[in-house]
């Protein structure tokens, strides 16, 4: 069978490719390499790589989707501050790109499932924890908003054109190959680079905020399980079934620490209610948080070339965060 993975050279997408290859799929990777890396693409005769921007309507992608059985749409622009500074770029990638992939996938005669990588950031600062799929939608910044609009298009194409779609709302994904360069962002990349360079770990606020850290292999396993099921036009939270404080993460990692100001627009807790995916897909996460952190530490050299953030550089990088999201 054949699958297309957009963003397949990226962090989560490359793990999706690995799983599909284990399941004997032919895989077409479409990635612009803006966030993805060539090193993430396996050298395998069953992999075909196309470097292209899925938001570019002038490119004809039809031939790559011929006879495709599954589409895993992971390509997207991520990060909060760049989305605040460049909302049009995010719209082009996360909204226009999604519509483009939907339109091409619609032409496949063999499509069994279109799996969309949605974001739990659509919930904004939730009212209830654990957070259910039917919780209010309240994105706090353009990245979250564009991912939510993309999700709406996916579900709408399912409704109108009968595309067999599912949307998977990811919570705080971490794991190997997480991006090691670029803008200030995910806590694991920041902390591991600081550890490698014997710098203090910069903890936002008092560190008591908690996150539903979900290991990347569990995330792609959830996507594959949804793809192989007969369930369509549904939204599923994908989480670890728990939530962990940043202070606990720092305790597991070790090292010195320093506290920096709490940021606006961030929830004190992210915690997915995964009862729906457990019930409907019989899926549950397999990698414990402690095991996941151990894997990260064993592979810490992956972050050797990452930028090393400190209090001053973080303050500079997050100026617009405070400017636009501060109440």
Active-site residue set = 143
CB 115 within 8 A of CB 176: no
Quote the CA–CA distance of 143 and 139 in Å, as a whole number: 8
Q: Which strands sit side by side in the sheet containing 165-170, from one edge to the other? A: 47-51, 26-31, 2-6, 70-73, 113-119, 165-170, 234-238
Find, among 148, 191, 171, the residue nearest to 269 by Cα: 171
Quote the CA–CA distance of 291 and 149 in Å, as a whole number: 34
Quote the CA–CA distance of 32 and 52 in Å, as a whole number: 5
Residue ranges of alpha helices (H) inside 112-204 are 142-161, 187-196
Query: 45 CB contacts (<8 Å, ≥6 apart)?
Result: none
End-to-end Cα spacing for the chain: 51
Question: How far from the centroid of its chain's Cα atoms is residue 84's Cα?
Answer: 18
CB 69 within 8 A of CB 44: no
State how far the alpha carbon of 29 is from the alpha carbons of 4, 15, 70, 195, 225, in Å.
6, 12, 12, 33, 20
Quote the CA–CA distance of 16 and 263 in Å, as a whole number: 32
Residue 262: helix, strand or coil by DSSP?
A: coil
CB 39 within 8 A of CB 107: no
* C-alpha triplet 58, 60, 63: angle, nearest 5°: 175
- Locate tokens 């360079």: which residue? 197
């Amino acid at each position: 069978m054949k699958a297309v993975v957009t963003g397949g050279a990226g962090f989560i997408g490359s793990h999706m490719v690995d799983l599909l290859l284990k399941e004997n799929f032919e895989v077409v990777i479409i990635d612009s390499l803006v966030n993805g890396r060539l090193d993430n693409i396996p050298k395998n005769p069953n992999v075909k790589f196309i470097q292209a921007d899925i938001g570019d309507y002038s490119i004809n992608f039809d031939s790559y989707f011929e006879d495709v059985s599954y589409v895993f749409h992971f390509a997207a622009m991520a990060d909060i501050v760049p989305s605040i500074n460049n909302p049009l770029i995010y719209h082009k990638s996360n909204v226009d790109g999604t519509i483009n992939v939907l339109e091409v996938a619609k032409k496949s005669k063999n499509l069994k499932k279109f799996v969309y990588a949605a974001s739990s950031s659509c919930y904004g600062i939730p009212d209830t924890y654990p957070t259910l799929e039917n919780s209010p939608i309240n994105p706090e910044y353009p990245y979250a908003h564009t991912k939510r609009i993309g999700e709406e298009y996916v579900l709408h194409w399912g409704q109108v054109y009968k595309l067999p779609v599912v949307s998977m709302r990811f919570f705080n994904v971490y794991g190997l190959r997480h991006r090691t360069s670029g803008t200030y962002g995910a806590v694991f990349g920041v902390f591991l680079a600081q550890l490698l360079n014997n710098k203090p770990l910069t903890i936002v606020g008092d560190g008591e905020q908690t996150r539903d850290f979900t290991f990347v292999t569990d995330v792609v396993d959830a996507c594959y399980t949804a793809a192989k099921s007969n369930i369509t036009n549904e939204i599923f939270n994908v989480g670890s079934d728990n939530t962990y404080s940043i202070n606990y993460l720092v305790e597991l990692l070790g090292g010195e620490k320093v506290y920096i100001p709490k940021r606006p627009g961030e929830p004190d807790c992210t915690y997915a209610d995964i009862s729906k995916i457990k019930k409907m897909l019989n899926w549950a996460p397999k990698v414990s948080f402690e095991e996941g952190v151990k894997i990260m530490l064993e592979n810490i050299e992956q972050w050797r070339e990452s930028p090393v953030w400190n209090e001053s550089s973080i303050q500079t990088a997050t100026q617009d965060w405070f400017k636009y999201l501060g109440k």
